[in-house]
Amino acid sequence: MKKILVTGSNGLLGQKVIEILTGLKTVGAIATSLNVDKIVDVKGYDFELLDLTNHVETGYIIRIHNPDIIINTAAMTQVDKCEEQKAECWKINVEALKNLVKCSNDVKAQLIHLSSDFVFDGTGGPYTENDIPNPLSYYGLSKWEGEKIIKDRADKWTIVRTILVYGVNRTTRSNIVLWVKNSLEAGKPIQVVNDQFRAPTLVDDLANACIEMGVREKTGIFHISGPEMMSIVDIAYKVAGYYKLDTSLITPISSAELNEIAQRPRSTGFVLDKAKKELNYLPHPFEDGLKIY
């Protein structure tokens, strides 16, 4: 039986990967995260506290579990926070990877590492796996540097880039669907950018794709996203429409007017041909994703 160790298991993606793995009878799952286990409603996996920036602890946990596959979902993911706390961001998104790669190599594990559409500048999408990154934000830079460490040093690696992930989450961390839904349900007006375009990704699709890459031993870079590109304000309108919430609370705004701390790419989106061909990847359209959500 293959053993799969997941880092950042309390995160949006980590939770979903563990949930799916425990339903498969053919793999063993080890969840690890910085803070105490949040997946309290699911059984059938081991949990270990693991701070990836602690190199001794990381080596120990990986050695005792001896996994065949490591899915690294742990990261500092808040884009503006990364811009403000650069040292912290670098420590987990870049430095920790050097040790993680070494530990993965030591146990001969396949390292499946999550990256982002924010490695691109948003002027040339939809992007293929061969397009050249040019990050605009510190978060994007850290993910791009992280990719280089994985590619240069890991013996068996897979890099999975994804875009604006949405789905059910047991923690208080928000995502685009939850933010719009909760705000409008509370009668709270929101400003949403109308000049940034993304292909929102259902976390279930992403988690299944990551697992599939492990099961099929796929290596290299894969682009995994939802199938449709839309502006972020259109995403908000679709969420409001689906839950029959008051769309008048949504104010479209330009990126320049919103003036966020970190610069974001204007338009990303991925060409999904490789994932479709090699993984039979068939992502849910956004409105179907909302039904599952």
Ligand X SMILES: NC(=O)c1ccc[n+]([C@@H]2O[C@H](COP(=O)([O-])OP(=O)(O)OC[C@H]3O[C@@H](n4cnc5c(N)ncnc54)[C@H](OP(=O)(O)O)[C@@H]3O)[C@@H](O)[C@H]2O)c1
Contact positions with ligand X (CB under 6 A) in 66-85: 73-75, 77
33 sits near ligand X (criterion: CB under 6 A): yes
- Of 31-39, 97-105, 214-222, 275-283, the segment contacting ligand X by CB under 6 A is 31-39
To ligand X, the closest distance from the beta carbon of 4 in angstroms equals 16
To ligand X, the closest distance from the beta carbon of 251 in angstroms equals 22
Structure tokens at 26: 């053919």
209 sits near ligand X (criterion: CB under 6 A): no
For ligand X, give the closer residue by CB, 46 or 189: 46
For ligand X, give the closer residue by CB, 10 or 25: 10
Contact positions with ligand X (CB under 6 A) in 121-140: none
53 sits near ligand X (criterion: CB under 6 A): yes
Site pattern 153..192 for ligand X (x: CB under 6 A): ---------xxxx-------x-------------------
For ligand X, give the closer residue by CB, 189 or 220: 220
202 sits near ligand X (criterion: CB under 6 A): no
Backbone angles phi, psi at 148, to 5 degrees: -65, -40
279 sits near ligand X (criterion: CB under 6 A): no
For ligand X, give the closer residue by CB, 26 or 157: 157
Judged by CB under 6 A, how many residues of this single chain contact ligand X? 27
Three-state secondary structure along the chain? CEEEEEECCCCHHHHHHHHHHHHCCCEEEEEEECCCCCCCCCCCCEEEECCCCCHHHHHHHHHHHCCCEEEECCCCCCHHHHHHCHHHHHHHHHHHHHHHHHHHHHCCCEEEEEEEHHHCCCCCCCECCCCCCCCCCHHHHHHHHHHHHHHHHCCCEEEEEECCEECCCCCCCCCHHHHHHHHHHCCCCEEEECCCEECCEEHHHHHHHHHHHHHCCCCEEEEECCCCCEEHHHHHHHHHHHCCCCHHHEEEECHHHHCCCCCCCCECCECCHHHHHHHCCCCCCHHHHHHHC
In whole angstroms, how large is the CA radius of gyration of the chain?
A: 18
To ligand X, the closest distance from the beta carbon of 25 in angstroms equals 25
7 sits near ligand X (criterion: CB under 6 A): yes
- Of 32-40, 232-240, 273-281, 283-291, the segment contacting ligand X by CB under 6 A is 32-40
To ligand X, the closest distance from the beta carbon of 135 in angstroms equals 12
Which residues of this chain interact with ligand X, rule CB under 6 A? 7-8, 10-14, 33-35, 50-53, 73-75, 77, 92, 114, 116, 143, 162-165, 173
